[in-house]
């Protein structure tokens, strides 16, 4: 059985440099926020990020953390991360949702993303989850191709549904007004 309390994994990449994959720490959260913002820019939503370092520290390192991270360190620099959390499926039971996996643009094609992906999937297997799931934008064909090659299924016919904070407030207010 794998233990992840303080695991550090050393990987050799294609140019023979050391890559360290490890669990995230509080002090990593400024770099994690930077990666989140880089991902938002890549996904054409640069203004959408409202989460703060304080949010990440509070939510990821409380007594009952809402998420976990694996961090990729390359040449003593945090260059990538995978952020994931537990979910529960009425069909499958215990599952994990991979919220984001990002590698700095200038460090892509070095195997860093695959190393992070592999670590999340090994963690899931170790935790005996029955499914790992995530979403991918339909125009991100390199990611889609990678996921398919790894054996993941891209589900057709399922649409992502979200309720923004503003829409949530408007909806609840409208429902509350109906009850008067």
Enumerate the domain spans of the chain.
8-134
Q: Quote the pLDDT of residue 174.
A: 93
- Our answer to whether residue 147 is catalytic in this structure is yes
Q: Quote the pLDDT of residue 178.
A: 74
Q: Quote the pLDDT of residue 160.
A: 87
CB proximity list for 104: less than 8 A, separation 6 or greater: 35, 38, 79, 80
Q: Quote the pLDDT of residue 93.
A: 97
Complete DSSP assignment for 3-49: --SS-EEEEE-TTS-EEEEEE--GGGHHHHHHHHHHHHHHTT-TT--
Q: Quote the pLDDT of residue 23.
A: 98
Contact present, 33 and 57 (Cβ < 8 Å): no
Q: Quote the pLDDT of residue 139.
A: 92
Q: Is residue 179 classed as helix, strand or coil in its secondary structure?
A: coil
pTM of the predicted protein model:
0.86
Active-site entry in 4, 123, 147, 171: 147
Q: Among 49, 164, 32, 53, which Cα is nearest to 101's?
A: 32
Q: Quote the pLDDT of residue 168.
A: 95
Mean pLDDT, 10 residues at a time, over the chain (180 residues)? 45 61 98 97 94 98 97 96 97 97 95 97 97 94 94 92 93 82
CATH fold of 8-134 reads Aminopeptidase (3.40.630)
What is the rounded CA–CA span in Å between residue 121 and residue 64?
A: 22
């Amino acid at each position: 059985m794998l233990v992840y309390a303080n695991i550090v994994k050393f990987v050799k990449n294609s140019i023979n440099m050391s890559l360290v994959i490890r669990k995230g720490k509080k002090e990593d959260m400024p770099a994690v926020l930077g990666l989140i913002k880089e991902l938002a820019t890549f996904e054409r939503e640069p203004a959408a990020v409202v989460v703060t370092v304080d949010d990440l520290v509070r939510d990821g390192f409380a007594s009952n953390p809402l998420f976990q991270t694996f961090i990729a360190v390359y040449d003593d620099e945090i260059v990538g991360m995978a952020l994931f959390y537990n979910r529960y499926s009425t069909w499958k039971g215990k599952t994990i949702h991979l919220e984001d996996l990002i590698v700095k643009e200038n460090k892509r094609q070095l195997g860093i993303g695959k190393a992070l992906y592999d670590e999340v999937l090994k963690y899931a297997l170790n935790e005996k989850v029955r499914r790992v799931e995530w979403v991918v934008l339909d125009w991100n064909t390199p990611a889609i191709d990678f996921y398919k090659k790894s054996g993941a299924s891209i589900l057709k016919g399922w649409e992502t549904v979200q309720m923004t904070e503003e829409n949530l407030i408007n909806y609840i207010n409208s429902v509350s007004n109906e009850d008067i």
